[in-house]
Structure 1
C-alpha cells in the first residue's frame, strides 16, 4: 500500500499539504486536484486508527433518530452520511421510537463509543435526563426540536409559518370550513403545525376549523378524512405524509373528487403524490439541505471552525402550488444566542 510520502511525491506537493487535505482543510484548487488524482492512482488508504490516536478522534459521529424508518428520516440520514463519508467519518445510527428513556440511554451509549459529535433528531429538551447534554464534551446538534443549552446548536424548519401561509391561502380562496388531520400534540413538530392553523384563522371568525387527532399512521388518516368529510368540510389539510395517504385513500373509496368536491393539501416529503393530484398545495421539507447543513455544522464544530456555538438555524419549507422559489429553502435564517 502506498505511503503518504509517495502520494506527496506523485502530486508534487509537501507531506504537510497531503495531511491538511486529508483533514478536510481547503488548499489551492490545483493542488487539491493533484492530490486527489495521486490518491486515486496509487490507491492510498488512510490508517484511520492511527490517525484517530494522533488527533484524539474516533472519526465517527452519533446519529440518534426518533423514527429511523420514516421517509423524512431516511432522506436526512442519507444526506448526513454523504457529507460525513466524504470527510472520512462513519456514522453510528440508533433510534429511540418516541421513548424519552430510550433516548437518554442511547445518548449514553453513543457517548460511551467515543463519537466525535452527536446529532439528535426529535428529542424533546424537557425529557428527564436531556439536561445532561449541557455537560457532553463533544459538539451536539438538536434537529427538529429547540434547545436552550449553550453548547447545543439547533436546526429547525418553520412548519408553523408554512402551515399559516397555506391555511391563509385556503381562506383567501373562500373556504369556510377547514378540516385538519394532525398528529399527537406531545410532539414539538405537531404542536407547531397546528399552531400555524390557529394563527391563520385567528382573524377570520367566519372560518370554522374541525380537527382530528391521528397517530401518524395511514389508517388514522383514513379515519380522520371519513369523520371530517362527514362534517361537510370544504377543505382538508393533513399535517403528516403517512396520514395524507390514508386520507387520499378514503377520498378515492368514497368518490370524493379532489379539487372539485374538496380542496386537499398536505405534507409530502418525497412528492409521492405528484402524479395523483393536480392543482394541490403541498408542503415539502428540504430534507437533503437539512441533513447536509447538520453534517457540515457538526464538522465545523469538531474541527473548531464554527462561530457562535449554540446558534439556531431555521429552514423554510417549499409550498408547491404557491410559486415558492426552490432555492430560497437552501438558506436558513440564523439566530445566535445572546
Structure 2
C-alpha cells in the first residue's frame, strides 16, 4: 500500500507539505499540482499518517447547519440520510443558530464526540477555522456555501446561473423595473445570486437601479422589511426576485397583509421549491435547488475521505438549478 511518504518522494516535496495539502491547507500552486499528479500516478487512496493515525471508527457523522428550521437544510439532511442510513451510520445534527460563536462551539462538540466526518453549511463565507478538526483526522465537506481562503471539499449549486435564469425570465415577460431581495453580503450564495441578477440586467441593457437592490438576513424574518421598502418606493418595481426560502415566504406574507395580488399588483419569483409555494393561486415561480442531491453528493464525498481516498482533493461540485415558471410573474406584453 502506498503511503504519504511515497507521494512526497514522487512529488519531490516534504511529507509535511503533502499532509498540509490533504488536510485542506493552502499550499503553493506548483506543489499542489505535483502532489495531485503523484497521487494519481500512485493511485494513492490511504493516508493513515496525515489523518492522525486513526484506526477506529465511530460510524457517526456530524451535520452542522445555520438553523434547524430551514426547509432547505431539512431536505439536504434527507439526502445525507439516504446515503448513510443503509451503511448504519448515525447522524448528529447540530444548529449554529446563525451565530459564528455557535458554529465554533458545535464544531468543538462534534470533534469531542469523535465523529468520523462533518458536513458543514457555514454561517458565513467570510471566515471558518476547522484547522484543529482536519488535523485530528476528521474530514469536512462544505455544502451550499464556499468560504474564502478555505480549501475543502464542497457541494454547491450554480447560484449565478440560477439567479440569471430567473431574472431573464422576468425580463422576457416585459419587466424592466425588477427589484431584488438579496441576502447578506458576507454569504457566498447571496453574493452569487446578486451577481446573476446584475449580469442579467447588464446583458439586456437594463439600467441598474441601486434602490431596487435591498439586502436582508437569511433567517425566519428575513425579507419582511426589504419587501416593504421596495413597495414603498415612489417608482416601485413591477417585479421582485427574492433569493431564498424565508425571503420568499415573508414577501408573500407582506403581500397578503397589504392586499396585493401576486401576478397582478406585483410579480414575484422566489428561490427554493416547496409544496407551500404550489398551494397558492397562482403558484409561485421559483428557482429550485437540488437539495436532496446536495446531501447525497456531500455524503458520498465524505465517505471517500473517511475511507482514506483523497484523490481530487479539494473536490468542488456545482449542481444545476431548475426554473419553474408560473403566472406569479405577469406578462406585460
- Structure 2-normalised TM-score? 0.72
Q: Is the 8 A contact 1:178 1:208 kept in 2?
A: no
Counterpart Cα distance in 2 of 1:206 and 1:300: 46
The Cα of 1:274 is off from its aligned counterpart by 0.8
The Cα of 1:295 is off from its aligned counterpart by 1.3
Alignment correspondent of 1:172: 172
Contiguous gaps of at least 5 residues in structure 2: 1-53, 327-333
Counterpart Cα distance in 2 of 1:183 and 1:60: 33
Q: How many residues align?
A: 268
Alignment correspondent of 1:230: 232
The DSSP-based 3-state class of the residue aligned with 1:252 is helix
Alignment correspondent of 2:313: 309
Contiguous gaps of at least 5 residues in structure 1: 1-53, 323-338
Q: CA 1:246/1:146 → structure 2, altered by over 3 Å: closer, same or farther?
A: closer
Counterpart Cα distance in 2 of 1:277 and 1:118: 41
Counterpart Cα distance in 2 of 1:130 and 1:304: 19
The Cα of 1:131 is off from its aligned counterpart by 4.2
Counterpart Cα distance in 2 of 1:161 and 1:139: 30
Deviations 1:96-140 (A, max 9, x none): 123223322322221222111111112446426344455241222
The Cα of 1:155 is off from its aligned counterpart by 0.9
Q: Pick the aligned partner of 1:260 from 260, 264, 272.
A: 264
The DSSP-based 3-state class of the residue aligned with 1:274 is helix
Structure (1 or 2) with the larger CA radius of gyration: 1
Alignment correspondent of 2:93: 93
Alignment correspondent of 1:42: none
The Cα of 1:219 is off from its aligned counterpart by 4.9
Q: Is the 8 A contact 1:223 1:247 kept in 2?
A: no
Greater RCO, CA 8 A, separation 6+? 2
Q: Is the 8 A contact 1:259 1:279 kept in 2?
A: no
The DSSP-based 3-state class of the residue aligned with 1:257 is coil
Q: Is the 8 A contact 2:156 2:318 kept in 1?
A: yes
Alignment correspondent of 1:8: none
Q: CA 1:277/1:318 → structure 2, altered by over 3 Å: closer, same or farther?
A: farther
The Cα of 1:149 is off from its aligned counterpart by 4.8
Deviations 1:5-41 (A, max 9, x none): xxxxxxxxxxxxxxxxxxxxxxxxxxxxxxxxxxxxx
Q: CA 1:185/1:116 → structure 2, altered by over 3 Å: closer, same or farther?
A: same
Q: CA RMSD in A?
A: 2.5
